[in-house]
Amino acid sequence: MKAARLRIYTLIALMVVLGCTGDMILSLGMKRIGPIPDWSPSGLASALFHTVSSPTIWLGILLLLAFFVCLLTAFSWADFSYLKPTMAVSYPFATFLAYAVLGETVTLTRWTSVALICMGSAVVGLTAHRTTAPAVRPVTAPVTGHAGEPAR
C-alpha cells in the first residue's frame, strides 16, 4: 500500500511539473511571437507559420502531451475524486515558480489561497487513492490466454 501511495504521489508531482512548465514555456513562446498585428487570412497564416516553426512552442506542446499521457495513467490508477483536488497543487507550484524564478510579488491573498489549496490537497491526499475495484486485470500482466481465447 505504501509503494502504491508513493507511486501515485510521484505521478502527481510529475504531472504538476510537466503541466506548469509546459504552460510557462508555451506562454513564453507566444510572447516571443508577439500579438497578431493583422487579422486578415494572410496575417493569420503568417502568425500560424511563426507559431508552428517555433521550437519553444513545440517544446511546450511536447511537455503538455507528456502531461496528458501521465494524466491518463493517473486515471487508470486512482479515483477521480482523489486526483482532481490533489492535482490542484499545480496552483501553489505555479505561484512558487512565479515568486522564485520570475521574481514576481506574491500578495497575502495569493499566499492564503496557496495555504488553502495545500491543506485541501493534503487532506484528500491522505485518503485511500482508490475506492473502486479495478475493472480488468492489469495490462502489464502477461497475456497467457488458452488457444482459441481472444487476447484482450
Q: Which is nearer to another protein, 57 or 91 (CB)?
A: 91
What string marks each residue from 17 to 36 as x (binds another protein by CB under 8 A) or -? --------------------
Instruction: State which of residues 15, 18, 26, 95 lies at the interface with another protein (CB under 8 A).
Output: 95
Which region among 8-16, 25-33, 35-43, 48-56 touches another protein (by CB under 8 A)? 8-16
Give me the sign of the Cα torsion angle 124, 127, 133, 138. positive
Instruction: State which of residues 51, 54, 56, 113 lies at the interface with another protein (CB under 8 A).
Output: 113
What string marks each residue from 48 to 67 as x (binds another protein by CB under 8 A) or -? --------------------
Query: What SS3 state is found at 44?
Result: helix
Instruction: State which of residues 102, 136, 147, 151 lies at the interface with another protein (CB under 8 A).
Output: 136
Neighbours of 97 (CB within 10 A): 16
Which 8-state DSSP code applies to residue 102?
Answer: S
Q: Residues with Cβ < 8 Å from 110, sequence gap 6 or more?
A: 95
Neighbours of 135 (CB within 10 A): 6
Which region among 21-29, 39-47, 88-96, 142-150 touches another protein (by CB under 8 A)? 88-96
Give me the sign of the Cα torsion angle 108, 89, 132, 10. negative
